[in-house]
Structure 1
Amino acid sequence: MSYHRPHNPRPKGAAPVGVLSDLEPVPMSAVMYLRLWCEGHPDQLRQDLLPALGPEAAARAGQEFDHLCSLCINHGRRRLCRHHLQCKCLGADESCFANLVELAAAGEDADAMLIATLMLRAEQVPLSTALAQSVGTALSRARSSEDFGTETLEPHSGHLYPSPQVSQ
């Protein structure tokens, strides 16, 4: 007897596990910038960090965020799923990404690496954790010196977007 799984129209990582407004500012920002990055706005983080951190630190954080997102997209254990930019829901994959950035920035390396193993192939875990620490620290520094502003999030639209495949 074989077990047949019924077709699930919702990808595994898209399942809502919370709402963005329940997150602390740094992990919430990480999710929003991930969504922006996937929507074709890879420089938004750098532009937003520029006034608070200066050109060099903002450029470095932007490059590291780009590298982190590329790792998650191209070296994931499965395809990374996300919600629409204006959706107030927090998807399972987005929650992992937010936790990775938050834990790494807090210096919780073992926990951050554990979260990274849920998302990425093993050989990418140390690099992703280091990148997440740098990005999370930059977000934290910027938030403490200048408010990014909060986005108005619309109710869940039902639109879920698989992230694009990007080559490095």
Structure 2
Amino acid sequence: MTIHDPSLGSQAITRLSQLDDLEACVVIYLRLWCAGPVGRCAMRSDLANGLGAPRAAMATDAFAAMFSMLTRHPRNPLRHNALQSACLHPDETSFARFVAQAASGDREGALWLALPMVRADLAPQLTAAATDFGLRIRQMLVQRPDTTPYLH
């Protein structure tokens, strides 16, 4: 089930298992990044396993750019749950939806989702980084549909 699933109606997404693979990866990577150097190393390793070292480095750079904008110029701080939590914080759901929207090619829709996250002048840059990151995650999931157990 995805957050775009109309069968959910107005039901809130509250569990990691309710997200599609791309969105779940985004949330897991957000949590890993926020876990500090060890988590970032695990994220880079997982990306390298799925994309190869050069493309993993580009994906990591795109994520780092997004995270930098989100932490240096936030409208509100981006909150997240613990790495092993099956529950989602609403901010995690919004962030995953934003990256998925950007990766889908709907730039305008992604820009609208970026506006509550950062200053308006940074929304296009945030969207560009999200598009880059999201497309690389999508590529990884297509190349490796049986994603690593670490992510699920």
TMscore range, shorter length: 0.7 to 0.9
Q: Which residue of 2 aligns with 1:27?
A: 23
Change (3 A) 1:68 1:44: farther
TM-score (norm 1): 0.76
**What pairs with 1:19-58 in structure 2 (closer than 5 Å)?**
19-40=15-36, 41-58=39-56
Shift of the alpha carbon at 1:71? 1.2
User: In the TM superposition, what are the counterparts of 1:30-109 in structure 2 within 5 Å?
Assistant: 30-40=26-36, 41-109=39-107
Does the 8 Å CA contact 2:25/2:151 hold for their aligned counterparts? no
Deviation at 1:72, TM superposition (A): 1.2
Aligned amino acid, residue 53 of structure 1: L
Distance between the aligned counterparts of 2:64 and 2:78, measured in 1? 15
1:17: how far off? Answer: 4.5
Give TM-score scaled by structure 2 length.
Answer: 0.83
Distance of 1:72 and 1:93 partners within structure 2: 12
- The aligned residue for residue 165 of structure 1 is none
- Which runs of 5 or more residues in structure 2 are unaligned? 1-11
Q: Give the structure with the larger strand fraction.
A: 1
Cα distance in 2 for residues equivalent to 1:120 and 1:46: 25
Distance 2:82 2:56 in 1: 25
Query: Retained in 1: the 8 A contact 2:31–2:83?
Result: yes
Higher relative contact order (CA 8 A, sep 6+): 1
Partner of 2:9: none
Residue 92 of structure 1 and its aligned partner are, at CA, apart by: 1.2
Computed over aligned residues only, the root mean square deviation of the Cα atoms, in angstroms, reads 1.8
**Per-residue deviation at 1:151?**
4.5
Contact 1:17/1:91 (<8 A) preserved: no
Please give the alpha-carbon distance, in whole angstroms, between the structure 1 residues aligned to 2:110 and 2:75: 16
Residue correspondence of structure 1 range 104-119 to structure 2 within 5 A: 104-119=102-117
Paired amino acid for 2:77: R
Q: Tell me how far apart the structure 1 counterparts of residues 44 and 133 of structure 2 sit (CA, whole Å).
A: 11
Shift in Å at residue 51 of structure 1?
A: 3.0
Matched-pair contact (CA < 8 Å) for 1:72–1:120: yes
Q: Secondary structure at the match of 1:118?
A: coil
SS of the residue 1:81 aligns to: coil
**CA distance 1:103–1:83, change in 2 (3 Å):** same
Tell me the CA shift for residue 46 of structure 1. 2.6
Report the number of matched residues: 138
